[in-house]
Amino acid sequence: MKIDCKHVWEHISAYIDGEVDAALRADIDKHLETCEICSAVLDSTRNVVVLMADDRVFELPAGYSERLHARLDRELDLKDPG
């Protein structure tokens, strides 16, 4: 089946997650072969997804874990009083 750009965009997120069925995937792949616009949309959307998963892009605040466990120590009443 021939599909248009809008149709591709609607399924782009599911396509990236591997959640479109084989027939739709084949249609989208075929469209991507000839459509520079959709190829670029797919690449940039996938870039966004890859970047978000990068631990270096989204970091915990410095010292977060240490402060959390220090607070827990107080709460658990385990701190050495001396």
Partner 1 sequence: MSASNPEFEAECIRRILAGEKHLFHDLIRPLERGIYFMLYSLLKNEAEAEDAAQETAIKVYQNLHLFRGDAQFRTWVLSIARNEGLGRLRKQASRREDSLEAETDEQSGDYTPAILTSWREIPLEELERKELGAILRKAIEGLPAIYRNVVMLRDIEEMDVRETAAALGIQEGAVKVRLHRARALLQRELAPQLKGFAPRRKGLFGLGK
> Interface mask (CB under 8 A) for partner 1, residues 49-68, using x and -?
xxxxxx-xxxxxx--xx-xx
Distance (Å, whole) CA 43 – CA 32? 11
Sequence-ordered alpha helix ranges (H) in 1-82: 5-10, 12-16, 22-34, 36-52, 64-76
Q: Please, what is the minimum distance in Å from the beta carbon of residue 26 to partner 1?
A: 14
Site for Zn ion in 26-45 (CB under 5 A): 35, 38
Q: Are 67 and 61 in contact (CB under 8 A)?
A: no
> Interface mask (CB under 8 A) for partner 1, residues 21-50, using x and -?
-----------x---xx-xxx-xxxxxxxx
- Where on the chain is the footprint of Zn ion (CB under 5 A)? 5, 35, 38
